Amino acid sequence: PLILGLESSCDDSAAALLRGTQILSSVVRGQNALHAQFGGVVPEIAARAHAETLDVCVEAALAEAGVTLEAVDAIAVTAGPGLIGGVLSGVMLAKGLATGLGVPLVGVNHLAGHALTPRLTEDLPFPYLMLLVSGGHCQFLIVRGPQDFARLGGTIDDAPGEAFDKTARLLGLSQPGGPSVEDAARDGDPDRFRFPRPLLDRPGCDLSFSGLKTALLRQRDALISEQGGLKRQDRADLCAGFQAAVRDVLVEKTARAIDLYLADAPAAPALAIAGGVAANGVLRGALTGLCTARGLRFCAPPLKLCTDNAAMIAYAGGALLEAGLHHDMTLSARPRWPLDAGAAPLIGSGK
């Protein structure tokens, strides 16, 4: 079936057309320019922009795929978690389209979209271990099926992408912070400044990143009061130290998550990564090494599918439809929706 996916839970409006695992088109319109002057995503502005842009994305996705709206067999839409105004814009448009076309509607958990993404491009059997690291999320999941997720732990405060973005802001580097911090860190000495490795002394898979930001602020201010400003090399060393701390924390907690995951005795053990921070080369390198050492396959989807997009929503929705499940017009937008709470009430056989 031809599935139209819609995504509007944060600051990207997106539409995609999928047939099976074939991505016919995937259109993403970001809102960075709209929020730049406020130093963060403004929910009201985001909601309004989604309402204005989502239908444009749909038009563009149809044109790029070379299909008509009437050819669409089902609508999949992000129903949460996320900024409620944006999620509502998507859900309302999806309901309108599904009603107008007389096709099934399915609401998808945004995190399930990220978690299932590696299966869109690779033959990856369940259960696999997923590290979801983005601007808004950081968690370990055992993915047992399209609706079956076990959460092993996650951040108790900031997400790593958010920490990268704040680091860039504190050092006067451009947004999004991930790429600019990674870039600056290339000529940096990771050992010049001491950064904490939060929560490593505690058992379990929970993580914390807010202390890193505080440490960075303190080191930066010390340098400024000593020297009257930051030199290029100072920035590089701060970025390298910060990035190494994020890497160390993520790698150690991933090692613990692997222990829990392997206790299930998966036939073909694999670690998959998703979310925008999966773009980080230093982190990827360290996780590749860890997987080799522990005998796990490492799966990293193409970057375009790692950040927010609608192809992953169409794919996750397709998996529910394939199980005979869908929603009706009572589908509601959920600002909070933990993955292991299951799907929003679905209709159908669930075969």
Among 158, 165, 206, 234, binds ligand ATP (CB under 6 A): 165
Contact pattern for ligand ATP over residues 1 through 40, marking x by CB under 6 A: ---------x------------------------------
Verify binding: residue 190, ligand ATP, rule CB under 6 A.
no
Among 53, 118, 308, 318, binds Fe ion (CB under 5 A): 308
Question: According to the annotation, is 110 in a ligand binding site?
Answer: yes
Q: How far is the CB of 154 from ligand ATP (least distance, A)?
A: 12
Verify binding: residue 137, ligand ATP, rule CB under 6 A.
yes
Among 19, 150, 179, 256, binds ligand ATP (CB under 6 A): 179
DSSP 134-165: SSS-EEEEEEEETTEEEEEEEBSS--HHHHHH
Q: Which of residues 223-242 bind ligand ATP (CB under 6 A)?
A: none
Helices (H), the chain: 32-35, 43-65, 84-101, 110-116, 118-121, 160-170, 177-185, 210-227, 232-262, 281-294, 303-306, 311-322
- Specify the stretch interacting with ligand ATP by CB under 6 A; choose among 225-233, 256-264, 277-285, 311-319: 277-285
Verify binding: residue 250, ligand ATP, rule CB under 6 A.
no
Verify binding: residue 307, ligand ATP, rule CB under 6 A.
yes
Q: How far is the CB of 299 from ligand ATP (least distance, A)?
A: 16
Verify binding: residue 171, ligand ATP, rule CB under 6 A.
no
Whole-angstrom distance between the N-terminal and C-terminal Cα of the chain? 18
Verify binding: residue 146, ligand ATP, rule CB under 6 A.
no
DSSP 64-102: HHT--GGG--EEEEEEESS-HHHHHHHHHHHHHHHHHHT
Among 164, 209, 315, 337, binds ligand ATP (CB under 6 A): 164
Give the residues lining the site for ligand ATP (CB under 6 A): 10, 134-137, 161-162, 164-165, 176-179, 182, 275-277, 279-280, 307-308
